[in-house]
Amino acid sequence: MSISSFVIDTTAPTVTQETAVTTPTNDTTPNYTFSTNEAGTITYGGSCSSSTTSAISGNNPITLNSLIEGTYSNCTITVTDSLGHASSALSVSTFVVDTTAPSVSSFTLSDTELKAGDNATVRLVFSEVVASFSSDDDITVDTGTLASMTSSNNITWTGTFTPTADEEDAGNKLSLATSYTDTAGNAGTAATTLNYEVDTLAPSVISFTLSPTALKAGDNATVTLVFSEAVASFSSAADITVAGTAGAADNGSLATMTSINNITWTGTFTPTANTEEASNTLSLAASWTDTVGNAGTDNTTSNYEIETQRPDASFTFSVVQGTTFTNADNSTTYPALKTGDNATVTLVFSEEVFSFSAADIGKPNNHSLSNVNFAEMTSSDNITWAGTFTPNDNIADLTNKLRLKSNSFTDIAGNYGTRPYAKWSFDNTTENFVVDTGGAAVTSFSPSNNKVCIPVSENITVTFDFPMFTTSITSDTSTGCGASIMVSSSDDSGVFFSTPNCVPFPGNPVASDSNKTFTLDPVNNLAYNTTYKIKVTTEGNDIAKSELMNNLSNQYESSFTTSPSPS
């Protein structure tokens, strides 16, 4: 009998790991490959299993049955050959099943109000380590640029955001897409930052104007400054310079500017008095900002002109005949005009004047002249003007002055002239002049008219309104009548001022009060209970004359009655 060949096998299969499960993996049925030197039956141990239960000699790829998320460190594979020899258990390398998508813990900017020159640090924190993340590819940026973000642990990433220049945008965000994954390959979730504002547009000046731009005396100008947006830290006192060709602040002042919206600002500019300057501007410095702190730009107004210099004048007069009057009390001498006299006037203005005429010369109180009459003033250059004036008739006035009227003539800019007084060319100081053309009058008698019970020892006083020529004021020294001042009782028929009824005096009247008051002291007491009349006459040889030898124009009389005889 022959015996068939046979094999004696007493050796168990040898099993080795060829391809481990990728870890971490988001595949819940991951693949695994092992090899064995004998075919046999596969036995799975630990937390892993597979529908593949037979092994061939060589490499054996298997697919693990569905796994839940977690770490697998106890999985084994054993191969048993046909004779029942079991291999040693092969330990499957530990692997992790991860099916959870990575999320964002925080996504922030360090500054959410960005102005010109600002940057912000962007910080992105994931819930776990991420792979295939690139800020350049995965983050969308509004109104600016984000430099490539970096990380030391692939969880916390940082980068620098730079806003776009010259932009104003209140609604902005950084947006993270889902294009990144964790190390297991799970796709990430989207995220956005909170809103951030970008204002890198420098504020500018829309307009900077004055109105009007030609300023004369008494004028003000409205200054209007319009910004492109609301501004902060603006102060006209600190940020605007008022300057002309001669330097800062030489041509006026700007009151504090105000605004109801911080965009349009207004203020009042007042030019400096007595200034002529053709080139002037207001200058805005770049020291102001908008509400987020962007620095402003400088600016200047268009040119404006200042002409606040009022035309002034040298104003002199001279009496052609050289007539003067000397005050008896203080010996002051004044120029004077009597009947037939005339005076010349010269006005030399500081610049050309317009609409000027003799009517612009008046009294100090701005009223028109009444004691003198002006011929029309003439000029060949509107600077030097000449004219004449004459006294009016029947005027006796010690106090006369000439002065230019207010608001009457102007220079080319429209500035009204100043109001100088005319001065006597003899000394260029004296302003007063005297007019005497026969208007002297008696202003009072003592005793006063119709007064009764006058003491018989009473003196007689006559007062004029103008100084009189003393030698023309005479009184009777006998009972005959014929002096310039006569005091007389009546005759039997009731006639006064007939010889021998005039009261005799020891000499001429005594002058006082600058030769305006004259006192007569009778030689004897007056008669009791008698009516007397006083006459200042304009008849005969003894006529009362003024200081400048003008005859008294009217005759004056007054009466009084003495007291009764004592009983």
Q: Label residue 245 by pLDDT band (50, 70, 90).
A: low
Distance of CA 22 to the CA centre of its chain: 79
pLDDT of residue 539: 63
- The pLDDT of 106-113, averaged and rounded, is 96
Q: Label residue 285 by pLDDT band (50, 70, 90).
A: very high
Per-residue pLDDT for 183 more than 60?
A: yes
Per-residue pLDDT for 247 more than 60?
A: no
- Cα 260 to Cα 277: distance, rounded to the nearest angstrom: 33
* Per-residue model confidence as pLDDT tens digits over 115-133: 999 999 999 999 999 998 9
- The pLDDT of 11-29, averaged and rounded, is 95
Per-residue pLDDT for 541 more than 60?
A: no
- The pLDDT of 546-558, averaged and rounded, is 78
Per-residue pLDDT for 48 more than 90?
A: yes
pLDDT of residue 551: 74
Per-residue pLDDT for 491 more than 80?
A: yes
- Cα 320 to Cα 368: distance, rounded to the nearest angstrom: 23
- The pLDDT of 148-154, averaged and rounded, is 96
Per-residue pLDDT for 402 more than 60?
A: yes
- Cα 141 to Cα 124: distance, rounded to the nearest angstrom: 14
Which residues, at least 6 apart from 7, have a Cβ–Cβ distance to it below 8 Å? none
* Per-residue model confidence as pLDDT tens digits over 417-439: 999 999 999 999 999 999 988 87
Which residues, at least 6 apart from 425, have a Cβ–Cβ distance to it below 8 Å? 316, 317, 318, 346
Per-residue pLDDT for 480 more than 90?
A: no
Q: Annotate 26-45 with b (16+ C-beta within 10 A) or e (fewer).
A: bbeebebebbbbbebebebe
Which amino acid does the sequence have at 455?
P
* Per-residue model confidence as pLDDT tens digits over 221-239: 999 999 999 998 899 999 9
- The pLDDT of 491-519, averaged and rounded, is 92
pLDDT of residue 8: 64
Task: Tell me which CATH code domain 440-567 carries.
Answer: 2.60.40.1220
- Cα 227 to Cα 242: distance, rounded to the nearest angstrom: 19
Q: Label residue 554 by pLDDT band (50, 70, 90).
A: confident
Output the CA–CA distances (angstroms, integers) from residue 138 to 18, 146, 191, 197, 407, in the order listed.
37, 11, 11, 22, 81
Per-residue pLDDT for 3 more than 80?
A: no
Average pLDDT, the chain: 92
Per-residue pLDDT for 459 more than 90?
A: yes
Cβ(431)–Cβ(447) under 8 Å? no
Q: Label residue 7 by pLDDT band (50, 70, 90).
A: low
> Which of 4-18, 139-153, 255-269, 393-407 has the least mean pLDDT?
4-18
Check: CATH 2.60.40 for 104-199? yes
Q: Label residue 327 by pLDDT band (50, 70, 90).
A: confident
pLDDT of residue 81: 93
Cβ(490)–Cβ(501) under 8 Å? yes
* Per-residue model confidence as pLDDT tens digits over 440-450: 889 999 999 99
Tokens of 43: 């036995």
pLDDT of residue 408: 85
| DSSP per-residue string spanning 403-418 | EEPTTS-B-TT-PBP-
pLDDT of residue 543: 64
Farthest-apart Cα atoms in the chain, separation: 226
Check: CATH 1.10.3470 for 205-307? no
- The pLDDT of 359-383, averaged and rounded, is 92
Per-residue pLDDT for 567 more than 90?
A: no
pLDDT of residue 331: 81
pLDDT of residue 500: 93
Let me know if the fold of 104-199 is the same as that of 205-307: yes
pLDDT of residue 542: 58
pLDDT of residue 347: 96
pTM: 0.63
- The pLDDT of 382-388, averaged and rounded, is 96
Q: In what order do the strands lie in the sheet with 120-126?
A: 104-109, 120-126, 156-163, 144-146
For the chain, domain boundaries:
15-97, 104-199, 205-307, 313-436, 440-567
- Cα 286 to Cα 263: distance, rounded to the nearest angstrom: 16
